Homo-oligomer: A and B are copies of this chain.
């Protein structure tokens, strides 16, 4: 720290910057994140950042990609309702308020620089492993006889994430357990049953 003048390069430096950006996001959020602060935190300077990313939005998306995992472990509790509750809870924990502030902020930037919009959408749709997870949960419920066999349109497999993101965005806080339960009991379970009926 004091005397370490070793100059980082390449990947090592890049990771340091992305980590710094992530920390900065967590502490002050997207709206207040400045490139200078990220540079300072990473112990480097603005030009180094601008040589790698075209702007603030790109940097933030990269940091996000660098940090946020996209895998789900498929819950297996032995019952459809509790599987869904675990799934919704997992998504909600990960898609916390900060992430939604990032989405909102990047989104508003996306209109100024259309190429950012593509990046963002790509990142958001990248969560499509969700579809497989939902299908596995439903398949097991069908095997147990909890549900009639059912075809799942992609709009339905995407719905958990859409509901949670929407709630996050509108309330500014991650949905609590009651809200998650209402998503499952008022919307998702009835929907699955309705899809199963002719």
List of B residues within 8 angstroms of A105 by Cβ: 108, 111
Q: Mark A167-194, 1 if CB is under 8 A from B, else 0.
A: 0011110000000001100110111111
Nearest chain B residue, comparing its CB with the CB of A189: B194
List of B residues within 8 angstroms of A162 by Cβ: 162-163, 166
Please state if A170 and B121 are interface contacts (CB–CB under 8 Å). yes
A197 to chain B, nearest CB (A): 6
List of B residues within 8 angstroms of A159 by Cβ: 187
List of B residues within 8 angstroms of A165 by Cβ: 166
One complex includes copies of this chain to the number of: 2
Give the docked Cα–Cα distance between A69 and B178 (Å): 32
- Give residues of chain A (102-129) contacting chain B, Cβ–Cβ below 8 Å: 104-105, 107-112, 117, 121, 124-125
Which residues from chain A sit less than 8 Å from chain B, CB to CB? Answer: 29-32, 101, 104-105, 107-112, 117, 121, 124-125, 153, 155-156, 159, 162-163, 165-166, 169-172, 182-183, 186-187, 189-195, 197
A5 to chain B, nearest CB (A): 37
Give the docked Cα–Cα distance between A197 and B198 (Å): 12
List of B residues within 8 angstroms of A109 by Cβ: 31
Starting from the known contacts A29-B111, A156-B187, A194-B197, 10 additional A-B residue pairs (CB-CB under 8 Å) come to A30-B111, A104-B110, A105-B108, A105-B111, A110-B172, A117-B172, A121-B170, A190-B195, A194-B194, A194-B195
List of B residues within 8 angstroms of A155 by Cβ: 182-183, 186-187
List, sorted by A's number, 20 A–B pairs whose CB atoms are closer than 8 Å. Answer: A30-B108, A30-B111, A31-B109, A104-B107, A104-B111, A107-B169, A108-B108, A111-B172, A121-B170, A121-B172, A153-B186, A153-B187, A155-B187, A156-B186, A159-B187, A165-B166, A190-B197, A193-B193, A194-B197, A197-B197
